[in-house]
Structures are given as structure tokens and as C-alpha cells.
A and B are shown apart, each in its own frame.
Chain A
Amino acid sequence: MATEKIIYKKPDSLTDKNFTYCWGCGHSTVHKLIAEIVDELGIRETLIAVAPVGCAVFAYDFWDFDVTEAAHGRAPVVATAIKRVHPDKTVFCYQGDGDLASIGMAEIIHTANRGENITVIFINNTNYGMTGGQLAPTSLINQVTTTSPKGRDVKSYGYPIRVSELLAPLEGVKYLERVKVTDAASVIKAKKALKKALMNQINNVGFSMVEVLASCPANWRKDPIQSNEMIDKEISDYYKLGVIKDEK
């Protein structure tokens, strides 16, 4: 007679450890989405992930699948080598914008250009989170950070860089989409994009990257709601949401 049906549970691919990210931080949401997708695709036992340097270096505390660290910015080349050694496994790297767009710019461009059949999850929160909120290449014009106390002046700091648009013309790149995780609708959309990026690898489509506009309330000196508003208005105005490239 029991009619109970499980409609929601913690993904098997998450450990029992509580997330230690700041309240409102985008990492927790994206970590959980990845674990859900890994469960849904049934790839937990054939998956190898690469964690970045930055807040998400601790991703392996929360994911119950194989994970290695990589030196700052080097995740895509570590992932490249793992995929070449184990072409039958699914390999993704998870990187922040300091890691990917600054110190690791050569690594991401060449990995994309080689058309490596890996998946990259790029968390763009427009600053260096773990080290305390310094300016990143992605920080918005006039954004106040701990190393741009008067705001990002383009004359001395240059312009915010749109990495997805930079990678789009490379022929090795097959799929690029920019998403956000500020409300239920955008979270569902983000999950769909992340799933497609991993499915592309399984189907041998090639290099796929999802850029997630994520909030960093602690370093932005805003509460989580104000942070989401900043993404919905200012950040997604500069970094346009949507599919940037989708080739078969």
C-alpha cells in the first residue's frame, strides 16, 4: 500500500561532507548539478575530474569520484593527458576565472585548439575568490576589488576578457554556452548545458566548455540576493548568456 515515491535525494556522486563554500557562492550549486548529471549518465565509475587552484580546489571533498589537483591554470593539460591515457573514460576539468582566464590562458587556448575531447566547466565570478577578491582578467569595468580599490580603470588594468567568445573561432571547439545559476529556471538551463557538454564527450563530438556566471558574495561585499541581482543585471549584460557555439 505504500505510495511514497522518492522525488529528491542527495546524488550518490556527492560525499556526505557539507559544502564549505560561503553562503550564496555559485560553486555549491554547480558542484551539486555535476553530481546529479554524473548519476543520471551513470558515469561515476568511469569519470576522472581535475580540480583547479582556487576555492574549488576542495571539490574532491564533495565529489565521490576520482579527482586530481592540478597546478594553477594547468587543469586542461592535466585533463588532456588523462584523456589520452584513458580515452574510454570521461574527463572534465573545473576551473575558476583566475585559473582559466589568467594564469591558464595558454593552457585553455591550446587545449581547445587541439580539439581535445574533454569537457571544461568554467566558473566566472569576476574575481580571485580564494585569495581574497583580487582583480581577475574577467572583472568588470569599474569593479572594485582588493587590487583595484578605485575600480577597474581600463587604462591601467585593460578590459574584461570574454573567454568563450575568444575560443569560439577555434576550429577544435565544438560547444560553448554561457549560463547562470541565479534562480530555478537558470539552474535548470545550466544543468542542461552541463549535461550536453559531458554528453558531447561521450559521443566523441569534441571540446566543449560551459561558462557559468557565478556569484561571490563574500568578496563582492554583497548578500546572496544582491549578488544574484548583480549577475542578472550587470554581469550578464557584459557576458551575454546563451549558446555561443554548437557544432556536431
Chain B
Amino acid sequence: MSPNKTNKILVKGNHAIVEAALDAGCRFYAGYPITPQNEIPELMSSRMPEVGGTFIQAESELISVNMVFGAAAAGARAMTTSSSPGISLMQEGISYMAGCELPAVLVNVMRGGPGLGNIQPSQSDYFQSVKPGHGDYHMITFAPSNLQEMYDFTFDAFDLADKYRNPVMILTDGLLGQIMENVEINRSRKPLYLNTPKPWALTGAKGRPGQRILSLLMQPGVLEKHNLKLKAKYDLITKTEKRFELTNMESNPDYLIVAFGTVGRISKGTINIAKAKGLNVGLFRPITVWPYPYAELKEVAKKVKKIFVFEMNLGQMVEDVKLAVEDSSKIEFYGRSGGGVPTAEELYDFIKGKVK
């Protein structure tokens, strides 16, 4: 696992997340076994003690996420990881962290659902990430589509969590978690905000009154005021942190694919197939799925005849595409569910069938 001189490592997706977290200064990890993310707690159990941090194998996802709450309250850079059914249990802790404005990083290596589902790759937790648990809150959600992005966005996630005092999620899947690719590591990259004081953290009331971390705001009007303060923060994040990638848009394509994560990656193959067969197709790939790049997508969508939304679910992000695009009659959706992964040819055939 140690990087060679060129700073390029051949690494498994789940391992890239571990290395990025440690490089970003994460010193507390609690996790619970669930496939397809087990390589993360496994590698953490040996790597975290090497850097002087804490690894705990929690006894449930409720426990791991609430341990992360405690570690974040104590001022540590903290992370937990899981896969879809486990993330459902973690919604409790994520909401508390958002309410208490605690920074933390969560990783969802998505698998098929509902229920226990299966252990194949899926994107069916889009809703529970970008429109998450109870209460009025949001979390920044990154959707990587290759292992370089798994590493880079996990590193970014720790910086942004501290910058905004908010949980940040990496929304990935069993395919990206399990494959291996080269990842370039910039050893000169330093974590941002790592040494910025956290005057709100609980460290003992030395020379000051006791302070509190809480989300219970019972007095009338106080919670509403707090939520409006959170809203102002979310507005700032929306203005500042939206990310997306355009592919083949410089050639003024007739058709547009909108896809994130693994399907965004597969769609690049579809563009090449289409080009060889005389169809000019572009790609709009949201990188942050919250905040969602609505305005940017709206502009791109004006220039094309049809918009194809491809997902590994039965239609979740397509709702946000409809919110972004003025004429939703231009939108065609195709999704695979329950662990189905589409091929580039399969997506091309769908496009071809709709444009004839």
C-alpha cells in the first residue's frame, strides 16, 4: 500500500478512500461490517493505529455513526463508512450532526435494495443522500466516477466538512469500491482547516464557561432561527461548491446524457459508440449531487434536442433533472435496478431507439 516515488499507486477503490482519509488528517474511524465496503474497516484497523488514530469496530451502524458524532464533538476529524442498509440506520446520527453543526465524513458504497437487497452495485440511495433523513438539513454529497476521484473527493470532503461544520457524504457504489485503478497522489497537498481552532469543540471548560453541543431547541422561535442560519450556510455551499463535468459539449451535440458516478463513466463509452455511428452526444455529469448544478444544467439543456438520464435505479436523479430543465418533455429516462449495471452499448441502443 505504500506509495512509490512517482506518487502513483495501484489501489482498490475502498482502499483509496482509506488512504485519502488518513492523508486528510482523519484520526477517528468507527465502522461496522457490510459488503461491499468491508475493505475500508479492514484496512483502517491496521492503518489507523499506524498514524496514532482510533479505530473502533462498532457493534452496529447506529453505534458507528454516533461514535463519529462524539469524536467530531471532541474536535477530531472523523469518518464512518457503510453500504445502503447501514446508511439507513445512520440517518439518525447524520441528522444530529447536521443539527449540531458537526463536521464528519460518511461514505456510502451503495448496493442493491430495497431491504437487504443484494451486494451488487447500485445508485438507489440517491434520494437518501440528497434528500436525507428527518428535519430541514442538507449535506454536501460527492459522486465520484473513478478511483482518482474517490481519493480526491474523500480528501476534499474532510476539508469541506470543517469549512462548513457540516457532514459530507461520498456517494459511491460497489463497482467503484471493488475495482482497482491507478491513483496519483500529490504528496505536497496539505489538508485545509486541519489546524484551524475549533472553539466550539468540547475539550474541557478550561478558563471558560461550560459549553454545549445540542440540537434540542425547545423555546418557540429558537429552532426556526437556527434552521434559517443553517439555510444561509446551505445557500453559501450551493453558491460555492457545485461541481460538474462536461464531455463532448464543445462539438454542440444534438443529444445530452445526464448521469453521475459509475453511470457517468459508462456514458463516456456510449458517447464514443454514438460518434462512430454518426450520433453526436454530450454528457453532463454532476459531481456534487447536493448541491445540484441546476442552473448549469439548465443552460446546457437548452442547446440539445433530447436529454437522456441514465441511472442505476428506477428514476431518482431524473427528478432533479426535471427541476433543472425547462422543457421536461425532452427528457428520456433509462435505469437499471437491483444491482444491474448497464453497458455502454445498452445505453447507446436506448438512445438510438428514441431518436429514430
Q: Which residues of A contact B210 (CB under 8 A)?
A: 15, 44, 60, 63-67
A66 touches B214 (CB 8 A): no
Q: Which of B86-123 contact A (CB under 8 A)?
A: 92-93, 96, 100
Q: Which residues of A contact B207 (CB under 8 A)?
A: 45
B205 touches A69 (CB 8 A): no
The answer for the CA separation of A107 and B92 in the assembled complex, in Å, is 15
The answer for the CA separation of A21 and B67 in the assembled complex, in Å, is 29
A66 touches B203 (CB 8 A): yes
The answer for the CA separation of A67 and B74 in the assembled complex, in Å, is 11
A82 within 8 A of B: yes
A170 within 8 A of B: no
Q: Could you say which of A60, A65, A80 has the most chain B C-beta atoms within 10 Å of its C-beta?
A: A80
B71 touches A71 (CB 8 A): no
Mark contacts of B25-53 with chain A using CB atoms, 8 A cut-off: 1 yes-contact digit, 0 otherwise: 00010100000000000000000000000
Q: Name the CB-closest residue of B to A50.
A: B70
A84 within 8 A of B: yes
B298–chain A nearest beta-carbon distance, Å:
39
Q: Which of B185-244 contact A (CB under 8 A)?
A: 202-207, 209-216
Q: Which residues of A contact B205 (CB under 8 A)?
A: 44-45, 47, 64-66
Residue in A47, A69, A85 whose beta carbon sits within 8 Å of that of B214 in the complex: A69
B269 within 8 A of A: no
A70 within 8 A of B: yes
Q: Which residues of A contact B71 (CB under 8 A)?
A: 81-82, 84-85
Mark contacts of A18-52 with chain B using CB atoms, 8 A cut-off: 1 yes-contact digit, 0 otherwise: 00000000000000000000000000111110100
Question: Which among B57-65, B247-255, B311-319, B323-331 touches the partner chain?
Answer: B57-65
A140 within 8 A of B: no
A189 within 8 A of B: no
Mark contacts of B71-94 with chain A using CB atoms, 8 A cut-off: 1 yes-contact digit, 0 otherwise: 101111010000000000000110
B63 touches A85 (CB 8 A): no
Q: Name the CB-closest residue of A to B71.
A: A81
Given known A45-B206, A46-B204, contact A81–B214 (CB-CB < 8 A): no
The answer for the CA separation of A89 and B170 in the assembled complex, in Å, is 32
Q: Name the CB-closest residue of A to B207.
A: A45
A187 within 8 A of B: no
Residue in B56, B78, B214 whose beta carbon sits within 8 Å of that of A68 in the complex: B214
A80 touches B67 (CB 8 A): yes
A244 within 8 A of B: no
The answer for the CA separation of A89 and B206 in the assembled complex, in Å, is 11
A78 touches B67 (CB 8 A): yes
Residue in A66, A77, A89 whose beta carbon sits within 8 Å of that of B67 in the complex: A77
Q: Which residues of A contact B78 (CB under 8 A)?
A: 81
A222 within 8 A of B: no
Q: Name the CB-closest residue of A to B63.
A: A77
A106 touches B204 (CB 8 A): no
Q: Which residues of A contact B93 (CB under 8 A)?
A: 71, 74
Q: List 13 A-B contacts (CB under 8 A).
A: A15-B210, A45-B207, A67-B202, A68-B213, A69-B100, A69-B214, A70-B69, A74-B63, A81-B70, A82-B74, A85-B70, A85-B76, A106-B60
A interface, CB within 8 angstroms of B = 15, 44-48, 50, 57, 60, 63-71, 74, 77-82, 84-86, 89, 106-107, 110
Given A66-B205, A69-B214, output 12 extra A-B contacts at Cβ < 8 Å: A44-B205, A45-B204, A45-B205, A47-B205, A50-B70, A68-B70, A69-B212, A78-B70, A81-B28, A84-B71, A85-B54, A107-B62
